[in-house]
Amino acid sequence: MDEIIVFYNLNAVEKREVLIVILQIIHNLDDASLVKAWQQSIARTKLFFRLLEDCLILFEQRKPADIMLMGSSSRSLIGEGPTSPKYSDRLSPATNNYLSEASRKEVRELLEENLSAAVSLQVLEITEKFSIAAASHNIATDYFFRNDNVRKRAVIGLQILVRSSFYYRFQTRRLRVILTITLSELMTDVQVTEMKSDGALQESSEALRLRKSLQEMADENRSFELLKECVLPENALVAIGEVVSENRWSWSEVKYLSDSLLLALDASLEHALLASEMTVDRYAAAESFYKLAMAYASVPDLHIIWLLRLCDAHLEMQSWAEAAQCAVAVAGVVMQALVGRNVDVWSRDHVVALRKICAVVSSEITVEASVAEVEGYGASNLTIDSATKYLRLAYMLFSQAGLHHFCASIQELIISVYKIRRGFG
């Protein structure tokens, strides 16, 4: 499976030879090993059955065109002159056709018939085993069994989460942080790309269904259809509190939530599609890291992770000023979180000053994001010491780039830390 690109670069004869070997290996496998191979990933299972389709196509028996007269057989010598009518020419068309067909039954044609039948039976046997395994839920697949009802219910479940957020918190900022974290984790488990027949990568069916679900969660018209299909009341998403009598649900805010999740999905997909190119093109890698950093800007830890990857990419290219800006952006994330928690070191004015040095400094960091302790994400790494560390890194890189006026601004922010600590000393 890992060498599938090589296979599709072969000619038809070579493909047949390879497929014979593959079928022989599969034939000798026990059922448990075959099921284990299908359990690896849906993408690999789909590729497996694509090879079986190729088997049926390449070993399909094609009969030569019927030739009525024996004298016109392909075995006649080229250049033979006209011959006298033969006895067989005077037979009835049906009898003549039978004799003509029988005379052309060479050994090779018989072998092709037998080979085609054997391949078809082998594919049928494998398909039957696959169906049994899928029916018993031993494997996860969408190749023969696509259940869109489950996806629709997941969309409604997502909307009910949003409705709860409106009901209890009047907004969706904290939920957006949690869903973004969940999406990030999902990207490591879901195959977001799959291989086409020519070896190129494309968006996988799993990613496409996820995209469709995220779009439908913000589709007001589609939402009412989904509620009916899932046998839920039309007012299932109404968020009317006990004190305030108006509906707190906002489709515009749901659309913003959906768009931010789709942005993260797009950035992750593009990063996966460019994986091979980024190993040789550091500019493409830097662009991809930047998009990921912006897509995950609402989650401090994730935002920092991709900013640091971007910083490393710039350092490899010896782009000192760009790397320094990444360090500033990381420091800005931490400073905003500390200001949001009323830590008396820096103020909002300091964050504004930092944004003048680097426009990438995010304004997405909210109080909800900075204190959200979800699966290890959030406030744990957002400390004064970590902010100071990245300010010092920015100072060093700006100095390396010869941008000393930025160094002075950074130094003022570092001095603020020393003043506070001296006061407590």
d(Cα 290, Cα 303) in Å, to the nearest integer?
Answer: 10
Tell me the pLDDT band of 287, cut-offs 50, 70 and 90.
Answer: very high
Task: Tell me what pLDDT residue 138 has.
Answer: 61
Min mean pLDDT across 185-199, 261-275, 300-314 is at 185-199
At residue 346, the 3 state secondary structure works out as strand
> What is the model's pTM?
0.63
Task: Tell me what pLDDT residue 62 has.
Answer: 58
Neighbours of 117 (CB within 10 A): 12
Tell me the pLDDT band of 101, cut-offs 50, 70 and 90.
Answer: low
The structural domains of the chain, ordered by start, are: 4-64+85-135 (no CATH), 146-273 (no CATH), 274-425 (1.25.40.410)
- pLDDT tens, position by position, 317-375: 999 999 999 999 999 988 888 887 787 788 888 888 888 888 878 666 655 555 554 44
**Average model confidence (pLDDT) across the chain:** 77
Tell me the pLDDT band of 110, cut-offs 50, 70 and 90.
Answer: low
Q: What's the angle, vertex CA 333, arms to CA 327 and CA 338, rounded to 5?
A: 125
> In this structure, what are the phi and psi dihedrals at residue 211, rounded to the nearest 5 degrees?
-60, -45
Average pLDDT over residues 49-61: 79
Average pLDDT over residues 164-175: 83
Tokens at 326, concatenated: 């990444």
CB 266 within 8 A of CB 295: yes
- pLDDT tens, position by position, 203-233: 988 888 889 999 999 998 888 888 887 778 8
Give the DSSP H or E segment for 202: strand 201-203
Average pLDDT over residues 107-121: 70
Task: Tell me what pLDDT residue 423 has.
Answer: 57
Nearest partner of 335 among 325, 327, 324, 343, judged by Cα: 343
Task: Tell me what pLDDT residue 140 has.
Answer: 55
Residue reference for tokens 């100095």: 399
